[in-house]
Structures are given as C-alpha cells and as structure tokens.
Amino acid sequence: MLDVEIWPAVVAGLIAGAVMEGPVYLQKALGLPVKQNIFRTWGNLFRLRGAGGYLVGILFHQVLAAVIAVLYAVFFRLIGVEGDLWLWGLVGALVHYTLAGPVVKILPSLDPESGEVGRQGFAYRNYGALDVATSFVGHLAFGLLTGILYGLFHSGGGSGLAV
C-alpha cells in the first residue's frame, strides 16, 4: 500500500494548480468568451480587487491546490492504490470537480462584463457551456498531473507508479 508523503503531494499540487488554469488563459488570449477567473474570484472573497486581489487569489489558489493534492494522496492510500496514478488522478478529478461545482456556485464572483459581484452558478453554468467545459478540463488536468507527479516524486515511486 502506498504511504502518504506530504512534500511530493504538495509539489505535485503546486505544479498541477498552476497548470490547471492554463486553458482559461489560453482561451482568453485567443479571444474566446471565457468569463471565469478563479484568481479574481478568490481575491474578491478576501474583499480585494485589482492587482492585490489578483495576487492574493493566485496565492490562495496555490495553497488550496497543495492541500487538495495531499487529499488526493490520502485518497490513493485509502483505496489501496499501488500503481497507475495517472488513472486514479483522473478518478480523483471527477470527485474534485463534483465537489467544486457547488463551491463555485456560492463564491462571490466579479463579473468581467458588468463589474458587479454576482453568482457564477453551479460549475460556472451561468457563464455558459464554454466555461463549464473549461472548468471540467482544468480539473481533469489537475487530477492527471497530480497523479503523475505524485507518482514520480514519491520515494517509492517513479514512472512505474505514475503511469
């Protein structure tokens, strides 16, 4: 049975947390109408706007990603995973996305078009199908990367554990 190792999980979570927001910013750079911005939303939760709120949002997201990756490691241990962490990371991502949907609904979001604080809806549903799909893909990327990287960084791991 795979022992829980905190630092490999934290490092995996920090990398995966940074990468998971990539689809959002890539689409924004391409001019696609993606409205979600979890960094801005987290900053708004701390009652901060502008650059300061954005920075606090990024930092909070990274801390949360590290904590969630540790929870993935605990999940792997609880279900007795001994390999294929890429696959179990995707399973974890489905659980993660299912739990994140209602959290997103209750978070106060700053609408990029109106500038008003509102609600983005369950899993960004009020922002449209593109935002829902982008959030889903981001969570899958997080789970996949967390599983692979945790497997690679784990003292008993390596590529055999990760993939």
Q: What's the Rg (C-alpha) of the chain?
A: 16
Question: Which region, left, alpha or beta, applies to residue 14 given φ > 0 means left and ψ of -120 to 50 means alpha?
Answer: alpha
Predicted confidence at residue 157, as pLDDT, reads 78
Predicted confidence at residue 94, as pLDDT, reads 97
Predicted confidence at residue 71, as pLDDT, reads 97
Where the chain has pLDDT below 50, the residues are none
Q: Which amino acid is at 11?
A: V
DSSP notation for 62-119? HHHHHHHHHHHHHHHHHTT--S-HHHHHHHHHHHHHHHHHHHHHHSEEE-TTT--EEE
